[in-house]
Amino acid sequence: MTRSSVQGEDTRQGAPDAPERAEADGKTESEEPDGGAEAGRRRPRRGRRVLRWTAVTLAVLIAGTAGAGYLYYEHLNDNIKKDALNLGDNKVAAPTPNAAGQTPLNILVIGSDARDSEANQQLGGARETFGSTPLADVQMLVHLSADRSNMSVVSMPRDTLVKIPKCTDPDDGKVYPASEGRVMTNRSLGHGGPGCTVATWQELTGIHIDHFVMVDFAGVVSMADAVGGVPVCVDANIHSRDREGHGSGLKLEKGTHPVKGEQALQWLRTRYGFEDGSDLARAKAQHMYLNSMVRTLRENATLSSPNKLRRLAEEATRALTVDPGLDTVKKLYDLSDELRKVKPERITMTTMPNRYVGARVEPTEDAEQLFRLVREDIALDGKDAKKKAADEEAADVSDDPAAADDEIAVQVRNGTRTDRLGAARGRANTVTGLLVEQGFAKAVADPSVLPSEDRTVVRYPSADLEGDAQRVAKSLGIPASSVQRSTDVSGVTLTVGADWREGTTYEAPASDDRTPESAEALNGADESACMHVNPAFTWS
| Residue-level pLDDT at 315 | 76
* CATH number of the domain to which 324 belongs: 3.40.630.190
Q: CA 204 to CA 191: how far, in whole Å? A: 16
pLDDT of residue 117: 46
pLDDT higher for 268 or 223? 268
Q: Tell me the residue range of the domain where 457 lies.
A: 394-500
Does 38 fall in a domain? no
Q: What is the pTM of this model?
A: 0.69
The reply to whether 340 and 463 lie within a common domain is no
Residues 354 and 407 in one domain: no
Write down the pLDDT at residue 432: 97
**Inter-residue contact 247 to 270 (CB < 8 Å):** yes
pLDDT, averaged across the chain: 80
CATH number at residue 415: 3.30.70.2390
Flag whether pLDDT at 39 surpasses 70.
Answer: no
Q: Provide the pLDDT confidence category of residue 15 given band limits of 50, 70 and 90.
A: very low
My answer on whether 157 and 195 are in the same domain is: yes
425 and 379 together in one domain: no
Residue with the larger pLDDT of the pair 72 and 205? 205
- Clarify whether residues 375 and 439 are in a common domain: no
pLDDT range class, residue 297, cuts 50, 70, 90: confident
Question: What integer is the mean pLDDT of 226-241?
Answer: 89
Residue 121 above 70 pLDDT? no
Give the number of domains in the chain: 2
Q: What is the mean pLDDT of residues 348-368?
A: 90
**Per-residue pLDDT band at 269 (split at 50, 70, 90):** confident
Q: Label each residue of 59-124 as H, E or C.
A: HHHHHCHHHHHHCCHHHHHHHCEECCCCCCCCCCCCCCCCCCCCCCEEEEEEECCCCCCHHHHHHC
Which residues, other chains included, contact 376 with Cβ-Cβ below 8 Å and sequence gap of 6+?
none
If asked whether residues 287 and 404 sit together in one domain, one would say no
Q: What pLDDT does residue 402 have?
A: 92
Same-domain check for residues 353 and 490: no
Proportion of the chain above pLDDT 90, given as a percent: 44
Residues 6+ apart with CB under 8 A from 117: 218
